[in-house]
Chains A and B, each alone.
Chain A
C-alpha cells in the first residue's frame, strides 16, 4: 500500500490545472504562512522548547523572525521576481523578443531536518510557493513536537489541494523518494544526501542539497582574544551546537590557544553563568542517540572548559577541548554539539594545508585584525560560504546565496535565490514571420558567398552569434 500516491496525484492535478500560477494565489499562500507563524507562536515556542529546549530568544531569532522576514521579502518582490527577464539580442535577433520565462517545476518535495525544524522547512517553502509550485513537505520525525504542529496546523493555512505535509521515518521517506517529483530540496546529512540524489537520478529530478561538514575556524595571532572568544562561543553553542554552519573546530598557534582558552571560559561564564545547566539560554541535545555520540567525543584530547554531561535531560556543557589529534573521533565527523576542539598549527600555511586536505565545508571562518590575513584564508580555500571575524552572520542576509559546495552540498537559497531554485528558466525567442529574405542566407544550397555574408552579418559586440 503506497500511502503517498493519492496525495501526489491530487497535487499533480492541481498543478496541471494551473491553480498555483497566479501571483494572487501565491501571495495568498504566503500570507497564510505568515498567519500560521503569528497565530501559533505560543504553540511553536513550546514545541521547540520540548524538542530542543530552545529559549524564546533563539526561537524568535533563528526560527520565527527569520521565516517571517523571508515571507515579507517574497511578498514585496513576488511580481518583480515573476517577470519575464529580457536578454540582450544579437544582430540576427534584433527585431525579436528574447526573454527568460520563470516557470514552476511542478510538484516539489522539501525534506527538512530537526535542528531548526521550523526555519528549515518554511524558508524553502516560501521559495517554492513564490515560484508557483505545489509542495509536499516532509518535516523531521526527530523533532516530533514541532512535526506535530506542522502536520496538524500548517495545512489549515494553505490550500490543501496544492500543499501537503507528510509523516514518516527513514522507511517512509525512502518510499516517498521512489515517486517522481519535479524538484527535491533536501537539508540534512551528507550520507542521506547521497541517497536522495541517487533516488532523484532515477527520475532525472533536479535537486538542491544543503548538507554539512566540519566548518574550520582559523584564529590569527593578531586579534583580540576576548572578542574572538565571544563571537566563536556564541555561534558554537547556539542551539547547543546543533547548527550546520557552526564553527566546528579552531585552528590557531599554541600561543593563541593559551589566550583563547581563558577567553572562551570567560565568555561561556558570562553567557550561561557558573552552572550552564541552569541557564535558560542553553539548549539540549535532540535525542539520546546524539547525546551518547557527543558524550563519547568528550573523551578526545583534554577538556579545557566544561566537559560535564547529564543523561536525564541530555545536557552537555559548553566544552572546549585541547591537545586534539587529527585522527581522533572528534575530528572525524561533524560535531553538531556544544564541543569546540582546538588544534594547533605553526603557521597560516599549515592551517591552509590542513583545511584543503579535507572536504569542502559549508562555512569557513577566519579571525584577524589584519584584513590581508582574512583575505588570504578566503583566497586559498573553498567553502559554501565565508565569514571573516564573525560566525554565521552571512546566513541572515537574504541577498547572499546560502548553500554548500562539494561534500557540503549543491545549489543554494534564501531570498531571491529560493525563488530561482524552484523555477525553471525557460529561454524564449519570439520571431516574426516576415523578413524571410533576410533569413534566407542560412538556407541550402550553401555557398562560400553566403557564408561570407553570414560572417559580415555576425560582426556584433557582446553576444555570441550563430546563423546556421
Chain B
C-alpha cells in the first residue's frame, strides 16, 4: 500500500495534474467513460442494488454528467487567482488568493449510491489538480469492479488509482499519508477515519448520517406532502443518507398520513410491489436482518412484509412510535417510516434539538413563518422545505453535515474548494524602502501612533476617507524619501 501511494505521489510531484488543459482532458475522458460505457455501469449498479437500469441512470449517471459539464464550463474561472482588498500599506502591491491542488487525495465511497458517491468527488478532485486514490465500497461489489476496470482505461493511470478491498485493506490504506480524505459512510467509521487522519494532520471531509426528521404541519397540502415523502423515503429502498428518516406530526394527522402514503405507494409500485421494477432491495443479509429487528413490538400501519431470499422489505409505515424504541435509536436506512406523534411544532423542535444534528431536516407547511421558525430553531446539514432530498440536487448549495452528521461539504464548486488550498499571496517590490523606515526599530512614540493610524483607520470610512488616507499615505512616503536624502 505504501508503494502504491508513493507512486501516486511521485506522479503528482511531476506536476502533470496541474495545467488546466490536462485537467480538462481528464474530465472530458471521464465524461466519455460515462457515456460510452453506460451499459456496463448501469448493469453494475443494478446488480448491486437490485435497481432498474432506468433508476440507476436517473439516480446516479445524470448527476455525474451534469457535474462534469458544469466543471468543464466553470473551471477556467475557478483556477484563476482572486484579487483581495488592499489596505494603505499594500496599495502598490499585488494581493490575491491563488487556489492550488493539495496533492494526493483519498476518496472513500459508500455502497448505497456506489457510482456517484465516488465520481462526484472525483470530478472535483481532478478539477482542483490533485492526484486521487479511489476506494469504492466493497459491499457494492459490481460497481467496485467496474470502477477498477474502467477508470484506468480512460484516465491517467499513475495519477488516479482504484484500490479495492475490505476492512483490512482500508485500514492499511488509512495508515498512509494523504493531503485530504473525503469519506462517505457511517458516523462510527467517520471517527476512525478522522483519528487515522489526525496522525498525519490530514484535513477531512466526512459525509456521515443521522436520523433526518420530517415535520408535517397541520396546515399543509397533505396529498402532496405524503407523495413527496414517500418518493424520498422508498427510493433506493430507503437506503439514502438524506431520506426522511421519521415523521413528527400531531396525533390527529397520523391516520390521514398513513392512508395517503399507502395510496402513493400503490401508485408508484402497483398492487404487487415485489414485481415492480422500480422497487429496490436491501444491500445484504446483515442489513436485512437489522431492519426486521426494528419492526419488533411496533404498530405496523401497513407494509412489514419481507422475503429473505430476495432481501425484500415492503414499504412500511409505523404509527405511535415510542422514541425510546430501537427504530428511533439508529439511522434506519431502509423502507420503514416511523411516525412519532408530537403535540405541536414547539415539541417537535425540542425533540429534534434533544438529538444529534441530522444530515437533513424536512418541514412541510403552507405557513412560511412556521417553516422559518423550524429552520431558525434547529440545526442540520441541510434543509428542504415542502419537499425532500432536493437540496442535494442544486450544486450551488454545499452538501454536507454538521456535528455527528459530518464536517465539510461538496458538490459543484464546493468540491473544487474542498480539494484546494487557497494560498494568500502578497507581491511587493524591493523599491520604496524609505517608506518602510516607519516600521524599523529603534521605535518611538510617534512610530507607535503612526502604526495605530495605519492599522485602525480611525478616519471616516467612506470612499472619500480612503482617498484622503491614500493621499496622506503618499505624502508620508514622499516625506520619508525627502528626509532620507
A residues apposed to B, CB below 8 Å:
16, 18, 55-58, 60-61, 65-66, 68-69, 72, 76, 87-90, 92-93, 98, 100-101, 103, 105-106, 182, 190, 193-194, 197-198, 200-202, 204, 206, 209, 211, 223-224, 227-228, 230-231, 234, 267, 270-273, 279-282, 356, 367-369, 371, 374-375, 378, 382-390, 393-394, 396-397, 399-402, 405-407, 409-412, 424-434, 436, 439, 442-448, 451, 454-455, 458, 461-468
Closest Cβ of chain B to A73, distance in Å, is 10
The reply to whether B383 and A428 contact each other, CB–CB distance below 8 Å, is yes
Q: B376-399: which have CB < 8 Å to A?
A: 377, 379-387, 389-399
From B86, B279, B387, B429, give the contact of A389 (CB < 8 A).
B429
Closest Cβ of chain A to B225, distance in Å, is 7
Cα of A72 to Cα of B429 in the assembled complex, Å: 30
Quick check: is B297 within 8 A (CB to CB) of the other chain? Answer: no
The reply to whether B221 and A446 contact each other, CB–CB distance below 8 Å, is no
| B contact residues around A424 at 8 Å (CB) | 379, 402
Quick check: is B48 within 8 A (CB to CB) of the other chain? Answer: no
| A contact residues around B396 at 8 Å (CB) | 87-89, 98, 463
Known A194-B198, A204-B194, A426-B402; contact A60-B451, beta-carbon cutoff 8 A: yes
The reply to whether B58 and A448 contact each other, CB–CB distance below 8 Å, is no
Residue-wise, chain B 44-83 has the 8 Å CB interface mask toward A (1 for contact) of 0000000010110111001100110110011000000000
The reply to whether A426 and B461 contact each other, CB–CB distance below 8 Å, is no
Residue of B87, B270, B394, B436 ringed by the most chain A CB atoms within 10 A? B394
The reply to whether B382 and A426 contact each other, CB–CB distance below 8 Å, is yes
Cα of A368 to Cα of B427 in the assembled complex, Å: 11
From A378, A399, A402, give the contact of B85 (CB < 8 A).
A399
| B contact residues around A388 at 8 Å (CB) | 425-428
Closest Cβ neighbor of B365 among chain A residues: A433
Closest Cβ of chain A to B188, distance in Å, is 10
From B102, B199, B268, B393, give the contact of A194 (CB < 8 A).
B199
Cα of A279 to Cα of B436 in the assembled complex, Å: 20
| B contact residues around A16 at 8 Å (CB) | 353
From A98, A273, A436, give the contact of B227 (CB < 8 A).
A436
The reply to whether B199 and A383 contact each other, CB–CB distance below 8 Å, is no
Cα of A385 to Cα of B421 in the assembled complex, Å: 10
Q: List 17 A-B contacts (CB under 8 A).
A: A57-B441, A65-B455, A68-B455, A98-B396, A230-B440, A271-B440, A280-B443, A409-B201, A424-B379, A427-B398, A430-B371, A442-B58, A444-B268, A445-B268, A445-B269, A458-B66, A468-B59
List 17 additional contacts besides A93-B393, A105-B402, A462-B70; criterion CB under 8 Å. Answer: A58-B443, A76-B461, A103-B379, A105-B403, A190-B201, A197-B197, A279-B441, A430-B371, A433-B225, A445-B269, A446-B55, A461-B73, A463-B70, A463-B394, A463-B396, A463-B412, A468-B393
Cα of A466 to Cα of B64 in the assembled complex, Å: 9
Closest Cβ neighbor of B116 among chain A residues: A466
| A contact residues around B387 at 8 Å (CB) | 429, 431, 439
Closest Cβ of chain A to B196, distance in Å, is 8
The reply to whether B383 and A61 contact each other, CB–CB distance below 8 Å, is no
| B contact residues around A58 at 8 Å (CB) | 443
The reply to whether A270 and B440 contact each other, CB–CB distance below 8 Å, is yes
Closest Cβ neighbor of A369 among chain B residues: B430
Quick check: is B231 within 8 A (CB to CB) of the other chain? Answer: yes
Q: B444-474: which have CB < 8 Å to A?
A: 445, 447-448, 451-452, 455-457, 461
Q: B212-251: which have CB < 8 Å to A?
A: 220-221, 223-225, 227-228, 231, 235
Which 8 interchain pairs have the tightest Cβ spacing? A57-B443, A400-B424, A201-B194, A197-B198, A427-B397, A427-B382, A464-B66, A281-B441
Closest Cβ of chain B to A46, distance in Å, is 16
Closest Cβ neighbor of A182 among chain B residues: B403
Quick check: is B37 within 8 A (CB to CB) of the other chain? Answer: no
Number of chain B residues close to chain A: CB under 8 A: 118
Q: B352-377: which have CB < 8 Å to A?
A: 353, 364, 366, 371, 375, 377
Closest Cβ of chain B to A182, distance in Å, is 7
Cα of A319 to Cα of B383 in the assembled complex, Å: 58
Closest Cβ of chain B to A383, distance in Å, is 7
Known A271-B440, A390-B426, A427-B381; contact A397-B398, beta-carbon cutoff 8 A: no
The reply to whether B195 and A464 contact each other, CB–CB distance below 8 Å, is no
Cα of A409 to Cα of B402 in the assembled complex, Å: 21
The reply to whether A204 and B353 contact each other, CB–CB distance below 8 Å, is no
Q: B70-123: which have CB < 8 Å to A?
A: 70, 73-74, 84-87, 89-90, 95, 97-98, 100, 102-103
Known A396-B89, A427-B399; contact A279-B58, beta-carbon cutoff 8 A: no
The reply to whether B427 and A389 contact each other, CB–CB distance below 8 Å, is yes
The reply to whether B423 and A405 contact each other, CB–CB distance below 8 Å, is yes
Closest Cβ of chain A to B455, distance in Å, is 4
From A90, A201, A462, give the contact of B73 (CB < 8 A).
A462
Quick check: is B208 within 8 A (CB to CB) of the other chain? Answer: yes
Cα of A206 to Cα of B390 in the assembled complex, Å: 26
The reply to whether B389 and A468 contact each other, CB–CB distance below 8 Å, is yes
Quick check: is B257 within 8 A (CB to CB) of the other chain? Answer: no
Closest Cβ neighbor of B63 among chain A residues: A466
Closest Cβ of chain B to A324, distance in Å, is 25
Quick check: is B151 within 8 A (CB to CB) of the other chain? Answer: no
The reply to whether A204 and B269 contact each other, CB–CB distance below 8 Å, is no
| B contact residues around A410 at 8 Å (CB) | 201, 203
Known A204-B208, A273-B442, A448-B54; contact A428-B391, beta-carbon cutoff 8 A: yes
| B contact residues around A458 at 8 Å (CB) | 62, 66
The reply to whether B394 and A429 contact each other, CB–CB distance below 8 Å, is yes
Closest Cβ of chain A to B387, distance in Å, is 4
| A contact residues around B138 at 8 Å (CB) | none
The reply to whether B425 and A386 contact each other, CB–CB distance below 8 Å, is yes
From A18, A60, A201, give the contact of B195 (CB < 8 A).
A201
| B contact residues around A197 at 8 Å (CB) | 194, 197-198, 201
Known A386-B425, A410-B201; contact A87-B448, beta-carbon cutoff 8 A: no
Residue of A280, A402, A428 ringed by the most chain B CB atoms within 10 A? A428
